[in-house]
Amino acid sequence: MNLPAEPLQIEDVVVIGAGLSGMTAAYELGRRGIRARIIAREEQVGSTWRKRHPQLSLNTHRDISHMPGLQYPSGTSAFPKRDVVAAHLAQFARDNALDIEHGVSVEALSRRDGVFHLATSAGPVLCRNVVVATGRDGDPWQPLFKGAENFGGQSIHACDFGDAKQYRGKRVLIVGAGNSGFDIANHLAKVDLAHCWFSVRSGSSVLPKRLFGVAVHKFSPWLARLPTPVVDIAISLTERLAFGDLTKLGFPRSSHKAATRLARDHVAIPVDDGAIKAVREGRIKVVGEVVEFTQAGTVLHKNGVVTAPDVIIYATGYGAHHQSLLGKLVIENGHVPSPSGPDIPGLWFIGMTPGLISYFHNAREEAVEMAAAMRSRLDTDARSGR
């Protein structure tokens, strides 16, 4: 005789993602007596960092880019490198004995009668609260250009950049001059390339990693206290002091509203660490945005320049993984939530937006606010017998 299946236990909270945001959320919940079950598709803490290229480092200073209550080891560089950050995250998970289920992906999310139903690769999960902490760069995005099928060289996304040394002697086109585009250009500026082109669509303010030997980012906590228009002016003046007039190097004119774009559109501010010097020396050439690929397999740009790269690196951004997940969310009033959209009871977002200080700082602030609100909500539910 087949016995009826045991009903699933309804968890108080499930955190999706075990990166810096997910673990910070679980930490803050734990401080308020709420046990968080963490589900992570990666096989170990820090896997996302370890998969990135070996030259990767933080653009934000170590003093304001660490997990709660945990500093980097003595001797860590001002801008911690990939493996150091991965080890830092793993140490935090161990120190706090976080309940992480690795290698489990969330395939669908729905909500019925006030309870969230998660379809995961390890089976169904029910919970009263879901914290989505899957980050902003889960799904690489690459534009489709006219005639792209004519290109016979190698095309990759910035997430697959790998070791910069492998591009030595090649002709490389970087498409996109945002944060990841400048990161790629910074690393290629240290490699002896045959040619390097930097395809820039629109002007944006750029900050130096260091100015007169001082790490510029150390001043970000003070800037964050100022009105956004004042920060716009401060960033513009810093850029001018560091680089002069960038339009003379071929960059489009900037609106000089970097802080405004960061706050309004969540566009991170690019950081220079050698790319602009390489442009000034002619080792990298700024060209216009890509228009199309020609029959000959070359690339036509908006300013009429034609490039003939061996490799195209698309630094064109990412789609957040939560978008595909929440696209399947069925809720009572029939709309799909977003981090900046209407409040859905029990649905929380952590670490989806950049800030002036660091992702670590943003995640901590968001997690503190979320944990306090969830504690209040759970206490109210308990008093009402729900």
Q: Which residue has the tokens 């100015």?
A: 211
pLDDT for residue 339: 59
Same domain as 343, residue 233: no
Identify whether the C-beta of residue 31 lies closer than 8 Å to the C-beta of residue 367.
no
Ramachandran quadrant class, 286 (left: phi over 0; alpha: psi -120 to 50; beta: rest): beta
Q: Is residue 5 part of a domain?
A: no
User: Residue 7's pLDDT is what?
Assistant: 66
Contacts of 333 (CB under 8 A, 6+ apart): none
The gap between the terminal CA atoms of the chain, to the nearest Å, is: 34
Q: How many domains does the chain have?
A: 2
- Structural domain ending residue among the three candidates 318, 339, 355: 318
Q: What does the pLDDT read at residue 385?
A: 67
Whether residue 278 lies inside any domain: the answer is yes
Same domain, 176 and 284: yes
**Is the same domain home to 123 and 221?**
no
Shared domain for 200 and 273, answered yes or no, is: yes
285-332 pLDDT tens trace: 999 999 999 988 899 999 889 999 999 999 998 766 666 667 666 555
- Which of 318, 347, 368 delimits the end of a domain? 318
What's the confidence (pLDDT) of residue 320? 60
66-72-77 Cα angle (round to 5): 100
What three-state secondary structure class fits 27? helix
User: Residue 263 domain-assigned?
Assistant: yes
Q: Are 255 and 148 members of one domain?
A: yes
Q: What is the CATH number of the domain that holds 353?
A: 3.50.50.60
Q: Please indicate, yes or no, whether residues 188 and 304 belong to a single structural domain of this protein.
A: yes
Based on the fold, state whether residues 189 and 240 are members of the same structural domain. Answer: yes
Residue 175 sits in the same domain as residue 242: yes
Residue 1 belongs to some domain of the structure: no
Are residues 173 and 134 both part of a single domain? no
Look up the domain containing 132 and give its range: 10-138+320-384
pLDDT at 3: 44
Q: Which residues of the chain have pLDDT under 50?
A: 1, 3-4
